Structure 1
Amino acid sequence: MPLDNNDNKGVTGAAKFVTSTLGNVAGGVGRTVGNVTGAAGRGIGDTITSATGSTGKPVGDAISSVGTGIENGANSVSKGVENAGQWKSYA
């Protein structure tokens, strides 16, 4: 039989619920913005590459890479926000 843990009861439990909800919402919004930015960057980069051929390929590839970098960064930050909202700590 598991022991009852008081960490998630009373005021602490309520605070964890609120911060978890806020963290998940902020994380979801950040992830959405990152995904949209990443997709847009890759789309613009692909368009430049298609329109200009090998001449514009370096520019198109660079724009695609920037979009992917922004997406990855936003996803990482969003995960950190969600973890913080759930009071997870990594020491």
Structure 2
Amino acid sequence: MPHTPLRASMRGRVLLPGADGFDAARTPWNLTVDQPAAAVVYPEDAADVAAVVAHARRAGVSVAAQPNGHGASGNTAGSILVRTRHLDRVEVDPVRRC
């Protein structure tokens, strides 16, 4: 699954297998859990998250979100692992209900 369009559509980092830092990025806090992933991304904002979800939908892969490796699951094979550590707020529009 090519992830080049994903890199071009988001500001945050996209790490692919074999890239420097990929293995460290996919490793959870609980070192007994192996998290094989198709990619690890670090979105910078809501637009990056939307780009990841849109890319995953087009590519037919799932998305697994983790802030910093807690809540690790071994069910990440083929998934895009989203590290949410750079996302530090939530905004709700009560009028639009989103």
Which range, TM-score by smaller chain? under 0.3
The structure showing larger relative contact order (alpha-carbon pairs under 8 Å, at least 6 residues apart) is 1
TM-score, with length taken from structure 2: 0.24
Question: TM-score of the superposition, structure 1-length normalised?
Answer: 0.25
Q: Name the one with the larger helix percent.
A: 1
Q: Which has the higher strand share?
A: 2
* Higher-Rg member (1/2): 1
